[in-house]
Structure 1
């Protein structure tokens, strides 16, 4: 991704003990948040979603914060500490092809990146957007070649909690004291730990962890592991780590020992912004003193390995890159060609397209493919691929079409059938809970699809402190 400095490793403090979260210094060289530009195209065109269903939520994590010209923004906004920056974590992406009209689905017009009204005659940057009337064809006269990252693309900012600049120190004395009191002496007050640790946002949790260490000269994760055990311990530790360190530890655990938990790799890495992928790679190397790419190559092979190398290369189109119908048509034709048959398909090219397009482009591709061939792209993937590759490619399509509905389905998958996948359920609930607004979207999608509330579903599958912790994260 051009224009984005490497994240960090030089911005990290000396490496912490093995397996413990790094201490992020203030003033990390992370780029200021920038915002996209350009008015939304007419609604109801190429790639627009069907009227029914949920409005496609913003990319989560890592939604863009549109608006032109680019503006700098501090985290969190002074007037509402604890809320993620506008345009992040499930906020709607810029209104492009494939977006619902402003004001529908309960969202007020001009919200989350609807660009300010433009004076008569004011247009895009010189020569207009690629594909516009009078603009040179892509790949000519200095315009980007087909599939290349546009030079005017504004980098999608990192998800809240994935950059040190988003984690200012805030007073957390009351929480720190309550945590120590809950673990001091004989026995543990589990309900108090749940009350204190289930609600902070990433910046607040980072402050609690650092201030606990400074006040009591002890590591909070180590102390929690001494006091509790089992899935309850794993849930509390995931919360204390914060989203970035939790992601890195999940990846390491998924590849540690015999076998690979491919589902965890999918959960953490697919459809992430370039900024998030770079942050995760840097954190992984800081914690485990090895590169994420090397560990993926050691655990995967063939087309699956190549697909993940594309993902962690962080070359996905930024969310500000528009949907251009001519390029969508070429992508659809190339996907159809690369599908071939079960014996002569081209999985590498197929994966290249799906891993390098942004959500709006993928949504337009899926809808255009269905319109042209009268078959869903998802069904064609299932007919040509199997195993982990099938699951990964279908998840990319599902997340681009409706992220909240996709996450709701993943939560149900951890509880459906015989037995509950407790660790996977904990990890998925914790990942979603960092943004309360997005959690509400997932709850609504879950109830609409399964005709029961997410909380009641969790209560029916879990017990004790684990149940109380998960319910507290969802509420």
Structure 2
């Protein structure tokens, strides 16, 4: 079994006590190794009365089979629960069936353009899940650039989505995501974060995706 270096709980507790709002969310999130952070986000997406389907889609549609395997282990170690069983109990229909199949095996979809066919045949979160899988296989950085742009502009800076994507992709492909963002939307990710965030929260987000100075 994979052994994960969980963050020191006293440090996490101190951060939660001393910090506040979204700046606290960023700093606490940075304390987790990637599989543990994914497990943490999935747990919070499913706990309580409602389910954050977009969080489930972002994580499960974009991770490799190895990453999902590690995520399942971390989920069990952190919460003593089976990720697959929780997904099954918190979702329904075709959306649930596809999410469960992703936690058994990440399926690559490639070849001819099927996004239009998916949009014609399905609706709701199941359609979004299938499209996300296709887009992630084709160009994962472009998918996350789109999700960031939507979270920043269409949803009025949806903090939880922005934080989750920046932290989870920070050591993987965030530089490529930044590149796609600027190519597709004409302005840098730095520019849009500076326009919508402020104070320590802004500085924390910019520090995560810091890089070439010409991107400011």
Query: Within the alignment, does 1:458 sit opposite 2:193 as a pair?
Result: yes
Task: Tell me the equivalent position of 2:133.
Answer: 396
CA deviations 1:14-64 (Å, max 9, x no partner) are: xxxxxxxxx64xxxxxxxxxxxxxxxxxxxxxxxxxxxxxxxxxxxxxxxx
- Whether 2:16 is the aligned partner of 1:225: answer yes
Cα distance in 2, alignment partners of residues 311 and 223 from structure 1: 36
In 1: Cα distance, 2:18 partner to 2:150 partner: 31
TM-score relative to the length of structure 2:
0.91
**Alignment-derived partner of residue 445 in structure 1:** 180
Distance apart, 1:271 and its partner CA: 3.8
Could you say what secondary structure the match of 1:419 adopts? coil
**Residue 282 of structure 1: aligned partner:** 73
Matches within 5 A, 1:23-34: 24=5
Counterparts of 1:239 and 1:261, CA distance in 2: 21
- For residues 239-262 of structure 1, the C-alpha deviation after alignment (integer angstroms, 9 at most, x for no partner) is 011211110010000001112111
How do 1:48-447 residues align onto structure 2 when only pairs under 5 Å count? 209=7, 219-314=10-105, 316=106, 356-357=107-108, 362-363=109-110, 365-366=111-112, 376-417=113-154, 419-435=156-172, 438-447=173-182
Alignment CA distance shift 1:418-1:310 (3 Å): closer
TM-aligned CA deviation for residue 419 of structure 1: 2.0
Q: Cα offset for 1:272?
A: 2.3
Deviation at residue 300 of structure 1 after TM alignment: 1.0
Residue-by-residue CA offset, 1:132-182 (whole Å, 9 max, x unaligned): xxxxxxxxxxxxxxxxxxxxxxxxxxxxxxxxxxxxxxxxxxxxxxxxxxx
Find the residue that maps to 2:15 and give its secondary structure: helix
SS in 2 for 1:241: coil
TM-score under structure 1 normalisation?
0.43
Q: CA, structure 1 residues 274+417, in 2 after alignment: closer, same or farther (shift >3 Å)?
A: closer
Q: Which runs of 5+ in 1 are unaligned?
A: 1-7, 13-22, 25-205, 317-355, 367-375
SS at 1:402 equivalent: helix
- CA–CA distance in 1 between the matches of 2:200 and 2:62? 32
Tell me the matched-pair count. 210
- Report SS of the residue matched to 2:50: coil
Distance in 1 between the 2:133 and 2:147 partners? 13
What's the CA shift string for 1:88-114, capped at 9, x where partnerless? xxxxxxxxxxxxxxxxxxxxxxxxxxx
**Using the alignment, how far apart are the partners of 2:38 and 2:196 within structure 1?**
24
Q: Deviations over 1:371-411 (max 9, x none)?
A: xxxxx411111111111011111111111111111111111
More helix by share: 2
**Shift of residue 418 of structure 1?**
5.3
| 8 A contact 2:95–2:129 mirrored in 1 | no
Question: What SS does structure 2 have at the residue aligned with 1:240?
Answer: coil
RMSD, aligned α-carbons: 1.7
**How far apart are the structure 2 equivalents of 1:303 and 1:443?**
33
Separation in 2 of the partners of 1:439 and 1:272? 14
